[in-house]
């Protein structure tokens, strides 16, 4: 694994931005590995992701903020710096369905997801054996309408104790409170079992089948205080025909959920997602 740094930037669009950033990095002998940018003309906004090799980089990373501050202030930048050697710590929330959990753990085990997974939190015991197979602590915290605040307090205590950076809802069938979601703004990723905004709510495949739809999909998004309305990271669809049953739709839907969620998680971990307004840019 290469030792790299990634800079994510958003600011008002102005001439000279790319040159200023590139010249700053060149001053300290940076070898730029990837650079991508996007201009949103409607918002008059410039967004950029730039990654460079830290081998031979002459600036100590502890001094980066002070050195970069004059450029950031001049262009009104919002920015964050990510280091590849600092792996995010990711918690997975799950209920009874295990397909997304199994997929994420397999990808993590094979090195596809650059993170640590210190714990799994569930509101049912069904997936315990999967967590045990991978040697990950598994915590069951039952949630109902009468104990939701207490349950979330227990969850948050576990997250703090394990220094969790990112939460993935792998078909966790509970709605997080506004207080909870605001604590982890843009750090909770959910998979929604339909192509938002169509067929929201319970039993979307049954409703889709009853309507005779020809496409079904899945959506991964950041969680906000508004249910299923957070910035979308990834979506995908598959075609179906009149010959397929509800069970066929459910199976195809689960395949999509696995793929869409894993892509969103990987892109977040690789620092490829920038949120602005109600939208995201996902850099190649």
Instruction: Return the active site residues.
Output: 228
99-109 helix and 246-269 helix, angle to the nearest 10 degrees: 40
Q: How far apart are CA 236 and CA 196, in angstroms?
A: 10
* Cβ-contact 243, 283 below 8 angstroms: no
CB atoms within 10 A of CB 190: 25
Closest C-alpha to 182, from 222, 127, 211: 222
Q: How far apart are CA 138 and CA 123, in angstroms?
A: 11
Question: DSSP states of 183-213 as a string?
Answer: HTTT-EEEEESSSTTTT-SS-HHHHHHHHT-
Task: Give the helix ranges, DSSP H, for the chain.
Answer: 17-27, 64-75, 99-109, 128-133, 148-161, 178-183, 204-211, 246-269
Q: How far apart are CA 211 and CA 195, in angstroms?
A: 15
Structure tokens at 236: 């995908």
Ramachandran assignment for 236, one of left (phi > 0), alpha (psi -120 to 50 degrees), beta (any other): beta
């Amino acid at each position: 694994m290469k030792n790299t740094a990634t800079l994510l930037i958003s600011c008002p669009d102005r001439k000279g931005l790319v040159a200023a950033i590139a010249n700053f990095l060149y001053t300290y002998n940076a070898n730029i590995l990837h650079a991508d940018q996007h201009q949103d003309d409607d918002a008059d906004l410039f967004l950029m992701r730039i990654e460079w090799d830290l081998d031979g980089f002459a600036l100590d990373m502890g001094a980066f903020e002070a050195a970069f501050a004059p450029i950031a202030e001049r262009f009104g930048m919002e920015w964050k710096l990510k280091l590849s050697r600092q792996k995010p710590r990711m918690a997975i929330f799950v209920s009874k369905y295990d397909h997304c959990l199994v997929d994420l753990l397999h990808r993590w085990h094979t090195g596809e997801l650059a993170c640590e997974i210190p714990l799994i939190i569930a509101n049912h015991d069904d997936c315990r054996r999967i967590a045990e197979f991978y040697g990950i602590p598994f915590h069951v915290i039952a949630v109902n309408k009468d104990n939701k605040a207490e349950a979330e307090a227990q969850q948050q205590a576990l997250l703090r104790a394990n220094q969790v950076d990112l939460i993935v809802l792998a078909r966790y069938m509970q709605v997080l409170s506004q207080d909870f979601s605001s604590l982890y703004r843009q750090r909770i990723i959910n998979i929604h079992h339909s192509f938002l905004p169509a067929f929201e709510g319970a039993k979307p495949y049954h409703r889709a089948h009853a309507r005779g739809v020809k496409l079904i999909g899945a959506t991964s998004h950041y969680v906000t205080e508004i249910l299923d309305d957070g910035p979308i990271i990834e979506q995908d669809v598959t075609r179906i025909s009149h010959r397929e049953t509800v069970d066929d739709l459910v199976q195809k839907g689960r395949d999509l959920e696995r793929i869409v969620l894993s892509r969103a998680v990987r892109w977040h971990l690789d620092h490829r997602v920038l949120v602005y307004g109600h939208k995201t840019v996902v850099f190649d």
